[in-house]
Amino acid sequence: MNDQSNKPEHIAIIMDGNGRWAKNRNENRIKGHIKARKSVRESIEFCVEKKIKYLSLFAFSTENWSRPKIEVKALMNLLNSVIEEELNNLIDQNIKFLTIGNISELPQITRNSIEIAKEKTKENDGLNLILAINYSGKWDIINAVKTLYKSRKRKDLNNFNEKTFEKYLSTYNIPDPELIIRTSGEERISNFYLWQAAYSELYFTDILWPDFNKKELNNAIFEFEKRNRRFGKI
C-alpha cells in the first residue's frame, strides 16, 4: 500500500458472484457460498493487518428473500454456523461484530448467534466488522423516516438537516465508506449504502467473490489511493 495517511477508514464490499463461481464449475450454488467463506476471512485479516477501522460486508439484501427457498435456508444456516465458528477468532483479533438491517425477520437461531457475537465482542476496539443482513439502502432510509416520524423531534423541522437525519440511519456513529468494492464484473451498488455512498469511491472488479483475496483487496486500495477526492470542490 502507499501512504498510510491516505488509506480508507471504512471499506464496504458487495460480495457478488458466488452463484456464477459455482455454475462455472458445474456445482450447486450453495458450493459458491461455502467457498466464499475463505474470501471473507482473508478480507477481515487484511483489514486487521492494515489497521482499517471499519469493514462492511453486504451479506444478504432485502431482495434476496426472492431467491429459491432452499438457497435462502442454506444461506441462513451457513451464516449461523460461520458466526458461531468464527466468534473466537473475532475475539482473539479484537474485532467488534456489528450488524445493520432488519434482524427481526431472520430465523430465531440466527438472531441468537448474532446477539451472542455482538455481546461477546462489544468491548473490542480494533476492526469494526459490520455485516449487512436483510439490509437495503431504501429500507434504511424508510426506516429512518418512520423512526423520525414517531419521535417528537419531527416538530422541529425548521432546524432539520443532513446531520440530524443521519442520526436515524442504522449506520449512525459509523463513518461513511470511502471505498465501495463490488466483485463479479457488475457495475452498480444494488440498493446497498444509498445515503452513505454519496462521496464513496467505487471499485469494480471482474473477480468473482469466492476468488477474491488479500491481493485483490490491496489492488482496490491501491487504486483508491490514486484518486483525487474533491467533494465538489475544484
Q: Which residues are catalytic?
A: 16, 64
Rounded CA-CA distance 138/64 in Å is 14
Cell numbers found for residue 222:
491501491
What is the arrangement of strands in the sheet containing 54-61, beginning at the earlier edge strand? 96-100, 128-135, 54-61, 10-14, 179-182, 201-204
- What is the three-class DSSP state of 195? coil
User: If you search the block for the grid coordinates 483525487, which residue do you land on?
Assistant: 228
Cell numbers found for residue 93:
483479533
**Of the candidates 158, 162, 126, 155, the residue with the CA atom closest to the CA atom of residue 51:** 126
Rounded CA-CA distance 27/31 in Å is 6
Beta bridge partners of 58: 14, 132
Phi, psi of 204 (to 5 degrees): -110, 140
For residues 176 and 196, the answer to whether their CB atoms sit within 8 Å is yes
Q: Where are the beta strands (DSSP E) in 33-95?
A: 54-61
The DSSP symbol for 197 reads: T
Rounded CA-CA distance 169/208 in Å is 30
